A = this chain, B = another copy of it.
Amino acid sequence: MQETQFQCVTIIGVGLLGASLGLAIKHHGLAARVNGVGRTGSPSNQKALEIGAIDQIFTDPAAAVPESDLVILASNVGQFPALMAAIAPALKPGTLVTDVGSTKQQVMKWAGKLLPATVDFIGSHPMAGSEKRGPENARVDLYRDALCLICPPKLRGRGAFTGSRVSAATKKIEQFWQAMAMRTHLLDAQQHDQWVALISHIPHAAACMTALVAGRNEEAGRAIAGGFVDTTRVASGDPAMWTDIFLTNRVQVNRNLNVAIQSLRKLQLAIRREDQQAVLEFLQLAKQRHESLLSRRDAR
């Protein structure tokens, strides 16, 4: 039996990610009590209570957190600054704060600026999700067996005491995700944002591009087969969530969009010239890189 890690956990945002998290915390017995924070009037609030993801719903984040020893931001990343500012005065010293956001450099900066020095923010990015939304699609096993990337803050020469406090906080966050059967990997926020640009944000842009091109002739949809379905699946993701992701990782996304555009141009030129060898080499390199990447996958 897993030992209860926390007395009171507050999850801010009770959509798919937040509600699934609540279900997993309860399933694994990781907290004595789970508070949820939702927007005033949102039907998600009642739903999250009904499915047992949370014990109580709040609409004021500052009212939810004072008793909490762990606070998890599970809204869209773009709402983090306002939420951090709202909870900052209400957090008790020693509270752990983390998130489930898809970008980290900007988030760590906000946390450093907006949260009090008496609490620890350790960034988390559980690599789990779905193109579906809302607590009605929540699943107790959404996070199970997936990878959670964890970013401790940079220490900026604060001295040994602060360093060991950050280490202890990081350890607790690692144990929290591991307790719900996730693998964890520590890395710094910059490296995190580089990785996810490559394996998540550019793929999302590619899926959207593909849907936009094909959507110019809806009739062609009649001939859709499995390849199109898989290649474009993520294009149904939540536009507001992805707007925040692209904008908070804009340096990496912009840089890699250049590479993406160049690679399409290269393919196009080879096709225009009917250069069979150049087309073949393009496809061979793509296949080879694809297989190398998949072989590195840190999967259970």
A185-227, CB < 8 A from B: 185, 194-196, 198-200, 202-225, 227
Closest approach, in angstroms, between the C-beta of A187 and any C-beta of chain B?
A: 9
Closest approach, in angstroms, between the C-beta of A106 and any C-beta of chain B?
A: 12
Please tell me if A239 contacts chain B, counting CB pairs below 8 Å.
yes
Please tell me if A4 contacts chain B, counting CB pairs below 8 Å.
no
- Residue of B203, B235, B242, B279 touching A246 (CB-CB under 8 A): B279
CB-CB < 8 A to A254: which residues of B? 268, 271-272
* Segment with Cβ contacts to B, from A16-24, A159-167, A286-294: A286-294
A271-300, CB < 8 A from B: 271-272, 274, 276, 279-280, 282-299
Please tell me if A233 contacts chain B, counting CB pairs below 8 Å.
yes
Cα separation A220 to B298 with both chains bound (whole Å): 10
What is the count of identical protomers in the complex? 2
Given the contacts A202-B210, A234-B230, A294 and B224 also touching, CB distance less than 8 Å:
yes
Q: Are B283 and A213 in contact (CB under 8 A)?
A: no
CB-CB < 8 A to A240: which residues of B? 280
Q: Are A234 and B225 in contact (CB under 8 A)?
A: no
Please tell me if A107 contacts chain B, counting CB pairs below 8 Å.
no
CB-CB < 8 A to A235: which residues of B? 286-287, 290
Q: Are B274 and A264 in contact (CB under 8 A)?
A: no
Q: Are A227 and B204 in contact (CB under 8 A)?
A: yes
Please tell me if A82 contacts chain B, counting CB pairs below 8 Å.
no
Q: Are A227 and B222 in contact (CB under 8 A)?
A: no
Q: Chain B residue with minimal CB distance to A215?
A: B289
Q: Are A290 and B236 in contact (CB under 8 A)?
A: yes
CB-CB < 8 A to A276: which residues of B? 243, 247
Cα separation A218 to B296 with both chains bound (whole Å): 7
Q: Are B286 and A274 in contact (CB under 8 A)?
A: no
Please tell me if A119 contacts chain B, counting CB pairs below 8 Å.
no
Given the contacts A215-B290, A215-B293, A279-B247, A210 and B220 also touching, CB distance less than 8 Å:
no
Q: Are A294 and B229 in contact (CB under 8 A)?
A: yes
Please tell me if A250 contacts chain B, counting CB pairs below 8 Å.
yes
Q: Are B261 and A265 in contact (CB under 8 A)?
A: yes
Please tell me if A128 contacts chain B, counting CB pairs below 8 Å.
yes
Closest approach, in angstroms, between the C-beta of A249 and any C-beta of chain B?
A: 9
A-B contact pairs, 20 of them (CB 8 A): A147-B223, A194-B217, A194-B220, A202-B210, A204-B227, A206-B210, A206-B231, A208-B282, A208-B290, A214-B289, A215-B288, A221-B292, A224-B298, A224-B299, A227-B233, A228-B293, A237-B283, A239-B284, A260-B264, A261-B265
Q: Given contacts A202-B214, A204-B231, A239-B280, list 12 more A-B pairs with CB under 8 A.
A: A195-B219, A198-B220, A199-B225, A200-B227, A203-B214, A211-B286, A215-B286, A215-B292, A222-B298, A224-B298, A235-B286, A240-B280
